[in-house]
Amino acid sequence: MPRDGAIIFGNLLLLAARARTAGCTRTRNGSMSYAILRFAHFIGLTLMGAGLLGVFVTDLRSRQLRDLALFAEAVRRVRLPISGMLC
């Protein structure tokens, strides 16, 4: 009986390992390549960087305004991308 339990447990471990690595490809040296995850993280990093750059430029431009109504509109335009990135 213990032997059957060990075989079942071993098969469960094998199935779990296969399910975990189903979306990954293996390279020649046996390590896994996560190309899709790397690409998704790169796209996310690029979009967040572009958003932060946009906020920085908009903030600089808003600080040059002298009219209160235009300044309030510029501050609202700065607030929208920031809240979009944080939520």
Q: Is the pLDDT of residue 86 over 80?
A: no
Q: State residue 55's pLDDT score.
A: 85
Q: State residue 63's pLDDT score.
A: 86
Domain tally for the chain? 2
What letter would DSSP give residue 67?
-
Instruction: Please list the alpha-helical segments (H only) found in the chain.
Output: 2-20, 35-62, 68-86
For residues 53 and 75, membership in a common domain is answered with yes
For residues 23 and 52, membership in a common domain is answered with no
Q: Is the pLDDT of residue 6 over 60?
A: no
Domain, as residue range, for 6: 1-33
For residues 8 and 41, membership in a common domain is answered with no
Query: pLDDT tens digits, residue range 10-22?
Result: 666 666 666 555 5
Identify which of 27, 26, 8, 4 has the alpha carbon closest to the alpha carbon of residue 16. 8
Q: Both tokens of residue 33?
A: 């390549």
Q: Report in angstroms the alpha-carbon separations of 4 from 12, 14, 45.
A: 12, 15, 49
For residues 82 and 63, membership in a common domain is answered with yes
Query: Which range, of 4-13, 26-35, 52-61, averages the lowest pLDDT?
Result: 4-13
Query: pLDDT tens digits, residue range 12-49?
Result: 666 666 655 555 556 666 665 677 888 888 998 998 88
For residues 44 and 84, membership in a common domain is answered with yes
Residues 54/81, Cβ–Cβ less than 8 Å: yes
For residues 24 and 46, membership in a common domain is answered with no
